[in-house]
Chain A
Amino acid sequence: MLTPEQIETRLERVLLTVQKPGRYVGGEYNAITKDWDKTETKVALVFPDIYDLGVSNMGLKILYDQINQRPDALAERAYLPWTDMEAVMRGHGIPLYALESKHALADFDIVGFTLPYETLYTNTLNALDLAGIPLRSTERGEGHPLIIAGGHAAMNPEPMHAFIDAFVIGEGEDVIHEIIETVQKCGMSLQAAASRSDILRALAKIPGVYVPSLYEVTYHDDDTVAQITPRVPEAPEQIVKRIVGKLPPPPTRFIVPNIKIVHDRAPVEVMRGCTRGCRFCHAGMTTRPVRERSVEEILAAAEAAIDATGFEELALLSLSSSDYTHIVELVDAVSKRFLDRKLSVSLPSLRIESVSVDLMESLKKRRTSGFTLAPEAATERMRRIINKFITDEQLLETARQIYSRGWTTIKLYFMIGHPSETLDDVRAIAALCNRVLDEGRKVIGRKAKVHAGVGTFVPKPHTPFQWVACDTEEQIEAKQELLRRNLRNRNIKLSWTDSRDTMIEAFLTRGDRRMAEVIYSAWRKGAKFDAWGDQRRYEVWTEALADNGLDPDFYTHRPRRADEVFPWEHISTAVSKKFLFQDFRMSLEGEIRVDCREQCYACGILPTFAGMRRENPGEGWKCPEVKEKKRVASHG
C-alpha cells in the first residue's frame, strides 16, 4: 500500500485535471490530524458519496467528535471521488485515502460507513474496492480493517450483510466507544493478534451490534424467511437498537470546508425522535423516543458553533420543529441573540398552522426562498390512512397567512402511492395545489406561486406499512401523468421522483440476504451513484436481479402475510411488531392516532428503555414517566 507521502505526491500531479479538486485535499479549518504513530486505534469514517454531500452528514460529525475526544483513538474522513477523479485514481494507482493524514483506508483499524439510504450500497462496494480492501467479509482476514456500518438504512442490514463485518443498530454515540475498546482488548491491529472471528464474536456481545456472519437464515419454499438463528452463543437472538438516555453535548467544532458544499452551515440537533406517528415515516418510527435538549444547551451550542466556524447559517435540526416543547422561546432567543450577527437561521419541518408563519417571521427569513409545508396527502381519507391528519381549511388558512405576510411561493410536499390510494386521491393533490394558489391570488394576485414536490411512497421496514405493496412503475407513471395533466398552470411548478429510482429503493429497502448478490452484480456491471438521477443505471439493476434469479416484484409489489417473518425480524427498534401491526390495521380502518405525547400507545419503547427513562426523569423525554421500582427499605 502507498505511504501518505506517496499518495500526496501522486495527487499533486493529477488534481488539476479533475473538477473541484478541493474535494480531495482536506486541510479544512477544524479538521483534526492526530499523531498517527502515537495513537492506538485509527478509525476512518466514510460517507459513500461525494464530499459535497458527505461533509454535512450529522451522524459522522457526531462520531468524528466522539472518537477524536479519546486520547487513544483518531478519526479521519473519506468520501467517494466523483467519476472523473475515480478514473484518475484507478489510472494512477491511488487508493482511497482519508483526507486528514492521507493514509490509505486499508491502513486503518476500523472503517465505518454511514448508510443513511439504500442508494449508497453500490458506492460502499466501490469505496472498498478503491481502497484495495476485499469486498466480502469472508475474504477479509488479519491485517484488514474491520468494516462497520450504521445509519437509517442499516436498520435492515441484510442486503449488505456480505460486505459489512458488524452493523451498529441505532444511535452510535456510546456504541462506538465500546467497539473501539473491544478492538483494543482483542489486540487487533494491523500487525494482528487475535483472530478475526474472535473479534467478531466479541463485538456481537456489545448490545446493539449485529455481526451478520454469526447468523444463519433459512427460507420457506415460497422464498420468504423461515428462521434467523444465531450460530454462536455470543450472538443474541434479537439485536435491540441502542439509544442514549440523554443527548450528549452536541458537537460544535464543525469542519469548515474550503469549497462550496451542500448544507454549508452549523447544525444543532434540537431533539431526536418524533411523537407524530406518521405511518409511512421510517425516521418517526425508528428514532423514538423523543429526547429534547434544553433551550440553554441549544443556545450555548449555537453560540459555540458559530464562534468556532464562522458559518453564516444556523440550522436547528429535528424531525418536527413545531413539536419542540419550547419552540417559541427558542426561536425568540435565537433571533435576539444572533440576528444582528448576519446569521440566517433555518427551521425545517414546521407544522401546517399559523404559528409556523409567526416562527418564520421572527427569524426574519428572506421571503425569496419559499415557505415549505408537507401535507403529504390531499384527501381526508388518505390523511387518516397515513396518520397525518390536518384539514384542508387548516392548510388554506396557513397558506393565506404565508402569502399575506410576504412570501410569494409555497412549496407543498406530497406523496403518491400511499396504501389504497386511488386516482381520485391523486387528482385531489392537483386540486389542492390549485386551491392554495387561488388563496395566493386573492392576497397577492399574479405573483403567487406554488411548487408541488410529489415523491413516491416506498414501504419501509420497521414501519406500520412494512406489510404493504409498493405501487408498480406503471401505476406510478399513470399517477404522475395525471398530475401533470391536472397541474398545467404556469404558476405551479411540479416535480416528481423518477419511478425507476423508486423501484431501486423499494427492492433494496425490504431486501433479504439474497439481495447482497444483486448489489454485487450491479456494482460489477458499473452501478454507482444510484442516488444521482444522471448516473443511476436502472437496466443494470434489472439484469443483476435476473442474473441472480430474483424477481423484483417479490420484494416490491407483494403484500406481506400478517405472520410473515421479515428479513429484519432479528433487528429490534424497540417498537414492537405487535404495535406496528395494530397500527397497520387501524390505517385500513382510517383510524388515526393523535400525537403520542397526549396519550401513550405502548409502542414498546418504554418497557425496553424503562431504566433509562427512570434515570432521565422530567420533560427531556416525551414518554410518560416510569415510577421508581418499589424498593424494600434496607435501613430501619
Chain B
Amino acid sequence: MGNPEIRRLRITFAKQGALRYSGHLDLHRVLVRTIRRAKLRLVYSQGFHPQPKIQLAAALPLGFASRAEIMDIWLTDAARDDHQKMAQQLQDAAPPGLTILDIREVDPRGPTLQTQVAAAEYEVTLLDAPDASDLDQRLAAVMDAESLPRERRGKAYDLRPLIYALHLLEPGDDGHPLLFMRLSARGGATGRPEEILSEMKISFENTHIERTRLIFEDISVE
C-alpha cells in the first residue's frame, strides 16, 4: 500500500446471544455495517464491486459463541488515534451480542490475518452429558487413540494430531459439565469441535460451544 494515511487496526470482539445464529458471511456484513454506522471510513477496493477491506481471523461456525474473535480493518481516517474512543463508537453502533473488547494498531503490510492463526480454544457446555465416569472414558478414548481417521468432504484425514488438548474444566454456574479443547486452526489442518464431539458420540445440538481464544503463530502453544 505505502499510503501513510491508511491504518490497519486489529479488533478483538465477542459474538454472543442472537448473533450466534449468524453465519460467517452474515457476520461479515454485520461488522461492515457496524463500522459504517460508527462513521469509521473503511478502505474499499477499486472497480465495479468495491469491497471493504476487512479480514476475519478464522470463520466461526453458525451457532458458536465466541469471546475472542479477531478482525483486521483498514481505515483511511488518519485523524482518529484514540483507540478507546473508537472502541466506544463501534460499541454504540453494534447490534446486541457484539462486544468490542480490544483495538490495537498493527503493521498495514503485515501478513494476512488468516495465515497467522495457529490454534483455537473452545469451551463446550454439555447440556445432556453422559455420567461422569462414562464421560471420562470417552475423553480417554479420544486422547489415547493413535489416530482418528475421518472424512471431510470426501477427503480422508486424521483428527488426532489436530487435538492439542482436551479435558474437563470445573462445571459452570448451571452445573453442566464443561469441556476444554485446544485444536489446530491452520489452513488445511483445522480441528473442529463438532468432530471431536462426534468422536465422543455427543450430539452437537445438545451443546453450547464458545470459542475462548485464538492463538497466533508467533505465540508458542503451551
What residues of chain A have their CB less than 8 Å away from a CB belonging to chain B? 12-17, 21-22, 24-29, 256, 258-260, 307-312, 342, 366, 368
CA distance A15 to B17 in the complex (A): 13
Are B95 and A21 within 8 A (Cβ)? no
Of B34, B44, B205, which is within 8 A of A17 by CB? B205
User: Quick check: is B204 within 8 A (CB to CB) of the other chain?
Assistant: yes
> What are the residues of chain B within 8 A of A15 when measuring CB–CB?
21, 63
CA distance A588 to B29 in the complex (A): 53
Are B25 and A27 within 8 A (Cβ)? no
> What are the residues of chain B within 8 A of A25 when measuring CB–CB?
18, 21
CA distance A29 to B21 in the complex (A): 14
Of A13, A27, A311, A368, which is within 8 A of B33 by CB? A311
Are A16 and B204 within 8 A (Cβ)? yes
User: Quick check: is B105 within 8 A (CB to CB) of the other chain?
Assistant: no
User: Quick check: is B165 within 8 A (CB to CB) of the other chain?
Assistant: no
What residues of chain B have their CB less than 8 Å away from a CB belonging to chain A? 17-19, 21-23, 25-26, 29-30, 32-37, 39, 44, 48-50, 52, 62-63, 93-97, 127, 204-206, 208
> What are the residues of chain B within 8 A of A259 when measuring CB–CB?
21-23, 26
- Smallest CB–CB gap between A26 and chain B, Å? 6
- Smallest CB–CB gap between B203 and chain A, Å? 10
Are B95 and A29 within 8 A (Cβ)? yes
> What are the residues of chain A within 8 A of B36 when measuring CB–CB?
310, 312
- Smallest CB–CB gap between A290 and chain B, Å? 34
CA distance A25 to B21 in the complex (A): 8
Are B22 and A258 within 8 A (Cβ)? yes
> A22-B21, A258-B22 are known contacts; what are 15 more A-B pairs with Cβ within 8 Å?
A12-B208, A22-B22, A26-B18, A27-B19, A27-B96, A27-B97, A29-B95, A256-B33, A258-B19, A259-B21, A260-B26, A310-B34, A310-B36, A342-B44, A366-B48
> What are the residues of chain A within 8 A of B62 when measuring CB–CB?
16, 21
Are B33 and A16 within 8 A (Cβ)? no
CB closest residue in chain B, given A367: B48
- Smallest CB–CB gap between B3 and chain A, Å? 17
CA distance A25 to B23 in the complex (A): 13
Count how many pairs of residues, one from A and one from B, have CB atoms less than 8 Å apart in the complex: 78
Of A12, A13, A258, A308, which is within 8 A of B95 by CB? A258
CB closest residue in chain A, given B29: A260
Are B33 and A309 within 8 A (Cβ)? yes
> What are the residues of chain A within 8 A of B39 when measuring CB–CB?
307
CA distance A16 to B21 in the complex (A): 8
Are A310 and B37 within 8 A (Cβ)? yes
> What are the residues of chain A within 8 A of B18 when measuring CB–CB?
22, 25-28, 258
> What are the residues of chain B within 8 A of A312 when measuring CB–CB?
32-33, 36
Can you list 14 A-B pairs with a CB-CB distance of less than 8 A? A16-B63, A17-B205, A21-B21, A21-B63, A22-B18, A24-B21, A25-B21, A27-B95, A29-B37, A29-B93, A258-B30, A307-B39, A310-B33, A310-B36
CA distance A504 to B205 in the complex (A): 40
- Smallest CB–CB gap between A474 and chain B, Å? 45
Are B17 and A16 within 8 A (Cβ)? no
> What are the residues of chain B within 8 A of A342 when measuring CB–CB?
44, 50, 52
> What are the residues of chain B within 8 A of A28 when measuring CB–CB?
18, 95
- Smallest CB–CB gap between A101 and chain B, Å? 13
> What are the residues of chain B within 8 A of A256 when measuring CB–CB?
30, 33, 95
Are B26 and A258 within 8 A (Cβ)? yes
CB closest residue in chain B, given A306: B36
> What are the residues of chain A within 8 A of B22 when measuring CB–CB?
22, 258-259
CA distance A255 to B13 in the complex (A): 22
Are B30 and A309 within 8 A (Cβ)? no
CB closest residue in chain B, given A308: B37
- Smallest CB–CB gap between A407 and chain B, Å? 13
Of A21, A26, A258, A309, which is within 8 A of B37 by CB? A309
- Smallest CB–CB gap between B173 and chain A, Å? 15
> What are the residues of chain A within 8 A of B93 when measuring CB–CB?
29, 310
**Top 3 A-B pairs ranked by shortest CB distance?**
A27-B18, A310-B33, A310-B36
CB closest residue in chain B, given A343: B36
CB closest residue in chain A, given B27: A258
> What are the residues of chain A within 8 A of B35 when measuring CB–CB?
310
- Smallest CB–CB gap between B110 and chain A, Å? 25
CB closest residue in chain A, given B35: A310
Residue of A14, A28, A29, A368 with most chain B CB atoms under a 10 A cut-off: A29
